[in-house]
Amino acid sequence: MRGAPSAAALTALRALLGAEGCRTDSADVARYLQDHRHLYQGLTPLVARPADVAAVSAVLRLCAEHRLAVVPHGGNTSYCGGATPDESGTQIVLSLERLNRVRAVDPTGGTLIAEAGCTLASVQSAAQAVRRRFPLSLGSEGTCQIGGNLSTNAGGTSVLRFGMMRDLVLGLEVVLPDGQVLDQLRVLRKDNTGYDLKQLFLGAEGTLGVITAAALKIYSQPADYATAMVVVDDIGAAVALLGRIRDAFGDLVEGFEYLPGAAYQLALEHVPGVAAPFDATVPALVLVELAIPPALPELAIRFEEFLQAEVEAGTLRDAALAHSGRQREAFWFLREHVPQAQTRAGASIKHDVSLPIARLAEFVARSTEALARLAPGARIIGYGHLGDGNLHYNLSPPPGVAAGSAEESAFLALKPAVTRAVHDLVAELGGSFSAEHGVGRLKVDELERYEDPVALQLMRRVKHALDPEGRMNPGKVLR
């Protein structure tokens, strides 16, 4: 049985970690106790802040000895409460923030070894410093940490070209629940030596062990980008455009982000300084980006010609090409600030779904109809990474509903029914209720409901084999 840590256990942890290595005062621990979306408010007797892998191992050994539950914690940007301790006040928070070194970079081999507490932005900078790039790209990249990106198998805006975090990993260093260090920190592109154990920890949200470092793939830098914002009729037209762009430009398409008119309007209304390339009444937009390789500078011209031909043929309503780095940034600023705009517009009901791309239009049509019945007047802000089949299918209350009002509460009370309708349809169409944000604490019930029972049983067996006492991030992913 797990229980509240004894005074002896806490004293031992303090002695092990020293003053810099732990936090216990309520003012100091507060920032580790509330998740990014303010869904959960936890408690902890101690935040451990080890500075290297040996210290992480010693902490986990000590926690094993005293049978303490451990909640790994990175940049605290989870959308599902994955890094927040529960309300019992018994769980130790293990922050990786002091493991923030880039241990090695090899531009020729195309590899970089980073510790878990490095921010994503610092890993991108380390790659840039040797004229390479680490392609994972997220709105929260200045804050989120590599350990969290690995543990949640993060996605973002360049997945259609480079894959999710899992696809960018060559090796891992992991501390197991009993404190043993699993050293799989290899930089090999070929390594067929039995089971690929690192895959177990990628996307496991800290429920099987603690990732302390990773060997990552880095890529050559493009000479430039060709970036455009285009106006389309609807999501079906956007999907058709993706097909034509791929026919013309192949894998050089790196970004393909869809914004329905309602998302564009929210950004214009709530984010100061947001660019307005088109009238606020456009039905839908796509942000398209191609990477221009150094040897193909004329590609930018080809892209412009392609867009012109599309507009002339009437397959696109309009197109605006970024003519400078600043304009490109302005387009991305608009896209990246949609979540903030929606938060500023008040309460929302969020979903992070993925579908086979061929079924996206059907999903939007059928869910729009169902939601008009379930939540009349609510605004569907279904935007995101269309190139990956991933929509953030979020609802905002009808326009004019004030924060804290009875109407807002009535809207939020619809969440269970709305989410059931959305996730049921996603399941029917062969999609996923958790595309890139993970399961955390928020979607444990959904995993039980929608996952194949054989897969669920295997997950439980893996969990039991690695963490038989259920001490690693309890209550996350699996019950």
**Where on the chain is the footprint of ligand 2HG (CB under 6 A)?**
139, 339, 350, 384, 392, 394
Q: Report how far residue 2's alpha carbon sits from residue 183's, in angstroms, rounded to the nearest whole number.
A: 28
Residue with nearest beta carbon to ligand 2HG: 339
Decide whether 44 or 77 has the Cβ nearer to ligand 2HG: 77
Burial 191-230 (b: 16+ CB within 10 A, else e): eeeeeeebebbbbbbbbbbbbbbbbbbbeeebebbbbbbb
User: Shortest Cβ distance from residue 190 to ligand 2HG (Å)?
Assistant: 33
Comparing CA positions, the residue from 285, 217, 287, 293 lying closest to residue 249 is 293
CA atoms within 13 A on the CB side of 441: 20
User: Shortest Cβ distance from residue 384 to ligand 2HG (Å)?
Assistant: 5
Decide whether 292 or 391 has the Cβ nearer to ligand 2HG: 391
Given a contact cutoff of 8 angstroms between Cβ atoms, the answer to whether 249 and 304 are in contact is no
Structure tokens at 364: 């939007």
Residues 6+ apart with CB under 8 A from 243: none
Decide whether 23 or 335 has the Cβ nearer to ligand 2HG: 335
CA atoms within 13 A on the CB side of 375: 30
Decide whether 107 or 139 has the Cβ nearer to ligand 2HG: 139
Decide whether 51 or 238 has the Cβ nearer to ligand 2HG: 238
Decide whether 339 or 397 has the Cβ nearer to ligand 2HG: 339
User: Shortest Cβ distance from residue 350 to ligand 2HG (Å)?
Assistant: 5
Tell me what percent of the chain is helix, strand and coil, each rounded to the nearest 5.
Answer: 40, 20, 40
User: Shortest Cβ distance from residue 57 to ligand 2HG (Å)?
Assistant: 33
User: Shortest Cβ distance from residue 139 to ligand 2HG (Å)?
Assistant: 5
Beta bridge mates, 289: 227, 255
Residues 6+ apart with CB under 8 A from 202: 150, 151, 153, 165, 166, 169, 172
Structure tokens at 327: 């304009």
Decide whether 115 or 141 has the Cβ nearer to ligand 2HG: 141
Structure tokens at 312: 């002339």
User: Shortest Cβ distance from residue 394 to ligand 2HG (Å)?
Assistant: 5
Decide whether 155 or 475 has the Cβ nearer to ligand 2HG: 155
User: Shortest Cβ distance from residue 336 to ligand 2HG (Å)?
Assistant: 6
